[in-house]
């Protein structure tokens, strides 16, 4: 297994990657996803944030499960502690480390020499 996130070819069975996939420029190794709203130029770092945006700004509840946005970039992190593949956005990775392993992303980065 590698220490860096790997590119996922599809977001899910219902949400294929778009032809407009982008390379995410971020200093954080756990910030590798971007989702774009169908209704405006908004780009979010997580599915949760784009779902909240769709609900709050476009009154589109029930979307966010693959509808109402495009996946611009989505990568997975293979966790070195448990082997689980985690969607590499800040909220998901932080929650996974805290809930499953009781550590922070900084400790994980130090232990496993994750390269940004």
What DSSP assignment string belongs to 12-42?
Answer: -SSSBPPTT------S-TT---EEEESSSS-
| Domain extent listing, the chain | 6-112
Could you report the per-residue pLDDT of 32-45, keeping only the tens digit for each?
A: 899 999 999 999 99
Q: pLDDT tens digits for 3-27? A: 444 444 333 333 333 434 555 667 7
| Integer Rg of the chain from CA | 15
Token code pair at residue 12:
């899910």
The closest alpha carbon to 71, from 109, 93, 44, 52, belongs to 44
Question: How high is the mean pLDDT of the chain?
Answer: 79
- Candidate ranges 10-24, 43-57, 92-106; pick with highest mean pLDDT: 92-106
On whether the pTM is more than 0.85, the answer is: no
């Amino acid at each position: 297994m590698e220490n860096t996130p790997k590119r996922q070819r599809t977001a899910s069975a219902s949400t294929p990657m778009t032809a407009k996939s982008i390379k995410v420029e971020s200093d954080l190794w756990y910030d590798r996803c971007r989702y774009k709203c169908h209704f405006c130029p908004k780009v979010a770092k997580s599915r949760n944030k784009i779902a909240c945006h769709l609900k709050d700004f476009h009154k589109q509840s029930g979307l966010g499960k693959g509808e109402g946005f495009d996946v611009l970039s989505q990568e997975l992190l293979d966790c070195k502690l448990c082997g689980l593949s985690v969607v590499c956005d800040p909220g998901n990775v932080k929650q996974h480390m805290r809930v499953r392993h009781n550590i922070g992303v900084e400790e994980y980065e130090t232990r496993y020499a994750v390269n940004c």
